[in-house]
Chain A
Amino acid sequence: MTAQVVIFLRAEPGKRTLRRLDQAVARNLGHRRQTLVFLHGDAVSLAVDNCPERWRSPGADRRLELQVCTAAWQRRHPGRQPASGWQRASLVGLWDRLLRGADIDCLVDCKVQPAQPEGTGAEFLIEVSAAPVEPGSTEMLELVLAGASLDAQMQVLFRGAGVAHLDLPDARAWQQLHDFELARLFHAAGARPEGLMPALPSIGLDSKAMAALAHQARAVIYL
């Protein structure tokens, strides 16, 4: 089954996000779209429990896939299996869906936005606004590396608390994106102290340039 829509969830969902997730699943299944819910980061905790019965309406299960990132799951629940209905899966598999044209559905609370309708570019924009806290920092980089392993064209924009990734020690791991030309790196110019050079080479952008970057991207993934 090929997903036409990927609902990507990274943050541990609160009640509001769960309601949005529920609505997004119902909306996509209602439009008879093949739908993949993919849990990453702290969101994998959702797979501790069985998937909601309401997602199991007659005919719906053939169009709905529920996946949990294997590595993120193992880090948080070693030796356990996800609950009934959830399957372990790789980030490479997720990227394969995106590269084959699946849309990313909007879940504002977990900061994943749908592809910009005007976006005609080939590059995915990954916007990192979460501070470098482990294991989330490693997992955000893994998401980018998984895309790179399939030759996805990517741009990474660090903004807000995410600009801390540009400084050591966190910049060390992200440096490989620059050294191996895996992604183009940008940061919000105003989010860093003036005159302080980042350890990770990246291009500073003003708000207008950041908006243009997102507007032209094939899809935007907010981390």
Chain B
Amino acid sequence: MTTSDAWIEFDGRRVALDAEGHLANPADWSPAVAVALAERDGVGLGDDHWWLIEFVRDHYHRYGTVPLMRQAIMAWRRASGDDTIGSRELYRLLPDGPIRLACRYAGLPAPESCI
């Protein structure tokens, strides 16, 4: 994989990024693209990362908005049955901004709202 600020290239294919490092065209997303985007940030994707990525993709397609941290925590608790999960666990996954980065790896546009 090779990268620049404007694109990532892997498997002989170049995928364009916007100024904030999100896919310029969300239709370019695939699990392999998610891995490449995360590697670009030095993040290796584990099972919990994939759960979060799938959650934000599903939420976006279901409601048309990016989820709040509060919603991600509630969904994770429901999925795992572990009521002790909180924002700390999300930040352990993606310390530089769990929802923002999950959106990037999920191929969603950068959130435009100011929440």
Contacts and interface: CB of A to CB of B under 8 A. Distances in A.
B114 A71 contact: yes
Contact of B115 (A142, A151, A180): A142
B112 A71 contact: yes
B115 A173 contact: no
A149 B112 contact: no
A75 B114 CA distance: 11
Contacts of B30: none
Interface in B83-115: 112-115
**Of residues B59, B67, B74, B112, which shows the largest number of chain A Cβ atoms within 10 Å of its Cβ?**
B112
A51 interface: no
A149 B63 contact: no
B61 to A, nearest CB: 10
Nearest to B63: A176
A156 to B, nearest CB: 15
Given A175-B63, A180-B74, A149 B68 contact: yes
B70 A141 contact: no
Contacts of B69: 149
A172 interface: yes
Interface residues of B, number: 16
A141 B64 CA distance: 11
B2 interface: no
Interface in A31-84: 69-71, 74-75
Given A173-B63, A175-B63, A180-B74, A145 B112 contact: no
B65 A180 contact: no
Given A175-B63, A180-B74, A74 B68 contact: no
Contacts of B59: 176
A91 B70 contact: no
B114 A69 contact: yes
B115 A145 contact: yes
A131 interface: no
A26 interface: no
Interface of A: 69-71, 74-75, 89-92, 138, 141-142, 145-146, 148-149, 151, 172-173, 175-176, 180-182
Given A175-B63, A180-B70, 6 more contacts: A70-B114, A90-B115, A149-B69, A151-B70, A173-B64, A176-B71
